[in-house]
Amino acid sequence: MASANETLEKFRKLTERAYNTVYQSFRDNAYIEQTVVQPVYVGQQAFIASKSPPPHKNSIEVKGALRIDNLPYQRKQTAGASKHAKGIHVLLDSLDIYKFHGDKPNLDESFLYCSTVRLAYFKRKDANWRPLLCIRYDFAKSYDAHPIFHAQLEDGIPTAEVRALFPGLPKIEAEYALPVHTNVRFPTANVVGATALLSLAADHLALSRFPEILRAVRNQKMFSDVWRCDCSSLDDGLPPQAMLASKWYSSKLAETA
């Protein structure tokens, strides 16, 4: 029987491989659009999975950090260079923490404990960037009348922590910070670091590229067989796996735009 450390390491490798396989599919398809995708971590990985520090016991956390330049503002039906020569810029940063039911880790008892995924969109103005949109997807227990999966808007000005993740960022014009009502939470499907790339692909890359990226998610054991989340605060307890964002898409493409 595998030890707790062996099970944690197996889960860590499974998770890191799944996340980065999705990233690689997104990167390869974005390249066709002349989009530059720059992972932050050593080894050209967008996501790093590691054992969580205290106070989290027997937990695996997946950190993501990805800069995307020249992303088409609007998708085209067919692959190729965007009609928007300069495109837009996107920063993705994420933290997903997985735990296990019971005292000893077991793959069949793993679950997403909490997550935060931020997508910040910018347009270039001369040498600077101006915020276009900043949305943060959160997952936490549904206390205080908050949807268990939700998104909130932010003002688009990177915090010191985000800037440390992305060295060499252009100046962000703070006078163009986005006005937001910070206490509004929009119910969503669950979005983790890897599935956030699906929304970017769906909205910005050529429509013909989307099924390939969706398959990259669904073909991963992590997202097809293993993934589940802690919904114990809901009235009906644990939900079906279909609450993961990748289950909310179809690969059947429309004939016209």
Instruction: Say if CB 146 and CB 185 are below 8 A apart.
Output: yes
Task: With respect to residue 35, please indicate whether it lies within any of the assigned structural domains.
Answer: yes
Task: Decide if pLDDT at 89 tops 90.
Answer: yes
First to last CA, the chain: 54
Residue 226: give the domain boundaries.
Answer: 4-248
Please enumerate in sequence order all residues whose Cβ is within 8 A of that of 60, keeping only pairs 6 or more positions apart, or say none.
8, 11, 12, 15, 49, 50, 51, 52, 97, 98
Task: With respect to residue 60, please indicate whether it lies within any of the assigned structural domains.
Answer: yes
- Predicted model pTM: 0.91
List, in sequence order, every residue forming a beta bridge with 39; answer none if it has no partner.
66
Task: With respect to residue 255, please indicate whether it lies within any of the assigned structural domains.
Answer: no
C-alpha distances (whole Å) from 95 to each of 138, 229, 255 are 10, 15, 37
Task: With respect to residue 157, please indicate whether it lies within any of the assigned structural domains.
Answer: yes
Confidence category of residue 213, pLDDT binned at 50, 70, 90: very high
Q: Residues 26-61: pLDDT tens digits?
A: 999 999 989 999 999 877 899 999 999 888 888 999
Average predicted confidence (pLDDT) for the chain: 89
Task: With respect to residue 257, please indicate whether it lies within any of the assigned structural domains.
Answer: no
pLDDT cut 70: percent of the chain above it? 93
Task: With respect to residue 200, please indicate whether it lies within any of the assigned structural domains.
Answer: yes
Structure tokens at 92: 């993705």
Q: Is the dihedral of CA 124, 126, 128, 131 positive or negative?
A: negative
Query: What crossing angle do the helices spanning 193-204 and 4-32 adopt, rounded to 10°?
Result: 10
Q: Residues 124-171: pLDDT tens digits?
A: 999 999 999 999 999 987 777 788 899 999 999 999 999 999 999 999
Q: Find out whether the peptide bond into 239 is cis, omega within 30 degrees of 0.
A: no
Instruction: Report, as an integer, the average pLDDT of 70-81.
Output: 74
Task: With respect to residue 256, please indicate whether it lies within any of the assigned structural domains.
Answer: no
Task: Decide if pLDDT at 84 tops 60.
Answer: no
Q: Where are the beta strands (DSSP E) in the chain?
A: 36-39, 47-51, 60-71, 88-100, 110-125, 128-139, 149-153, 186-187
Number of other CB atoms surrounding residue 169 within 10 Å: 15
Max CA separation in the chain (angstroms): 60
* Rounded Cα distance, 249 and 51, in Å: 31
Task: With respect to residue 253, please indicate whether it lies within any of the assigned structural domains.
Answer: no
Based on the structure, what is the number of domains in the chain? 1
pLDDT cut 90: percent of the chain above it? 65
Instruction: Say if CB 117 and CB 157 are below 8 A apart.
Output: no
